[in-house]
């Protein structure tokens, strides 16, 4: 057994998985063998979620059934709404989301299925829980936008797609078809990304046979960190700090000299531009063509990317998925602190797929450590110290 210590478990295989794969040298991300760029253009979140859960592209009948199941699980009990009303309106939405999702298990139950361990392979239960949590995650995030401003949340509609209903509940108006298509593509792009920090957290929690609601709460808490899902909010704040394209060079020189993070730049897995960032940039261009104006934030982002390519490109540092997603959300009038919850609304599909895969051949995670503390010593009574 190797006793080599690798900080952050970098490069250490923690599991076997057939859900997604990354080729960092070529800039390729695939879900179940399907290129993410093709899925973002041709698929939908509902179809992609079912692909991740079941392993194959569904038939029309299978997709319609899954879609109807999602639509039928959008409502949450009023108790959840009441809990949300008593949370501080100034709190971060990710803290709210973790609290609300963890509490779902108290109202919907289901963890008794794991009481004997061997029942962890109950496919009906696993699918049912996946549908409930995927659907209600979007509902809770949209509800919070109104609750924290002192209003009752907007009831979900069953005649809209997952992306359309999310925008409807968020803004309180019929969704613009173009904006709904962008949100749907963003949900596809963020749905899965191999064994990242939040997915690993879900797997570790799931390996104990904890309730799926607690499994996802663990993943949400991990996603909340700025080094993971919180980066797209930081990108927008960074671009607002820069202000204009003409300020980019001096700002970047200063940040690089101080060895500070350039948010949205670089990824541990990719040595070229993140394939998801490529799709999002094209969507941003399409947004500009539809709206007829060049967003100052997008103009600044393009200038910063060009400057970073000269300075950081030789080191394999290019834009990642967070770089353009926040700009698109900003253009749609979505508050910056809701960016990471939207990430969770998407990534829940991948989390549930890995939860299911973990349970199919479960073994509780129990890594070891390298002890660096004091050698054995005797206890000294306090009066002699």
- Give the catalytic positions in this structure: 267, 322
Tokens, residue 27: 């800039």
Length of the chain: 385
List of residues 6+ apart from 376 with CB closer than 8 A? none
With left for phi above 0 and alpha for psi between -120 and 50, is residue 109 left, alpha or beta?
A: left
As a whole number of angstroms, the distance between CA 336 and CA 184 comes to: 18
3-state secondary structure of 22: strand
Q: How far is residue 243's CA from residue 297's CA, in Å, rounded to a whole number?
A: 8
Q: Which contacts qualify for 282-290: CB closer than 8 Å, 24 or more apart?
A: 283/182, 283/185, 283/324, 283/328, 284/324, 284/327, 284/328, 284/331, 287/178, 287/182, 287/328, 287/331, 290/178
* Residue at token pair 């949300």: 84
**Cα separation, 293 vs 112, whole angstroms:** 55
**C-beta separation of 141 from 341 below 8 A:** yes
Residue 285 CB neighbours (<10 A)? 13
As to burial, measured by CB atoms within 10 angstroms (0-12 exposed, 13-18 middle, 19+ buried), residue 365 is middle
């Amino acid at each position: 057994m190797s006793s080599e210590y690798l900080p952050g478990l970098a490069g250490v295989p923690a599991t076997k998985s057939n859900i997604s794969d990354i080729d960092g040298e070529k800039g390729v991300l695939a879900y179940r063998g399907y290129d993410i760029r093709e899925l973002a253009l041709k698929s939908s979140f509902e179809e992609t979620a079912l692909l991740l859960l079941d392993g194959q592209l569904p038939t029309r009948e299978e997709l319609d059934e899954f879609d109807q199941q999602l639509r039928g699980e959008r409502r949450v009990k009023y108790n959840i709404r009441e809990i949300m009303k008593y949370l501080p309106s100034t709190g971060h939405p990710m803290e709210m989301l973790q609290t609300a999702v963890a509490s779902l298990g108290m109202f919907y139950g289901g963890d008794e299925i794991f009481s004997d361990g061997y029942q962890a392979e109950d496919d009906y239960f696993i699918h049912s829980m996946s549908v409930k949590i995927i659907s209600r995650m979007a509902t809770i995030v949209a509800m919070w936008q109104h609750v924290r401003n002192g209003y009752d949340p907007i009831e979900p509609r069953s005649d809209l797609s997952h992306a359309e209903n999310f925008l409807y509940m968020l803004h309180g108006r019929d969704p613009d078809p173009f904006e709904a298509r962008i949100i749907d593509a963003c949900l596809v792009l963020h749905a899965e990304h191999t064994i990242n920090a939040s997915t690993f957290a879900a797997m570790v929690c799931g390996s104990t046979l904890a309730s799926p609601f607690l499994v996802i709460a663990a993943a949400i808490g991990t996603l909340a960190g700025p080094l993971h899902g919180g980066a797209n909010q930081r990108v927008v704040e960074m671009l607002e700090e820069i202000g204009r394209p003409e300020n980019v060079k001096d700002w970047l020189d200063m940040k690089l000299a101080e060895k500070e993070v350039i948010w949205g730049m670089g990824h541990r897995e990719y040595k070229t531009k993140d394939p998801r960032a490529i799709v999002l940039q094209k969507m941003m261009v399409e947004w500009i063509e539809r709206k007829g104006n060049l967003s100052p934030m997008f103009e600044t982002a393009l200038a910063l990317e060009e400057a970073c390519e000269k300075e950081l490109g030789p080191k394999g540092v290019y834009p990642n998925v967070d770089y353009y997603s926040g700009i698109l959300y900003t253009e749609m009038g979505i508050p910056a602190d809701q960016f990471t919850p939207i990430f969770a609304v998407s990534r829940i599909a991948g989390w549930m797929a890995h939860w299911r895969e973990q349970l199919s051949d479960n073994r509780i995670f129990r890594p070891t450590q390298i002890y660096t503390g004091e050698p054995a010593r005797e206890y000294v009574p306090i009066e002699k110290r």
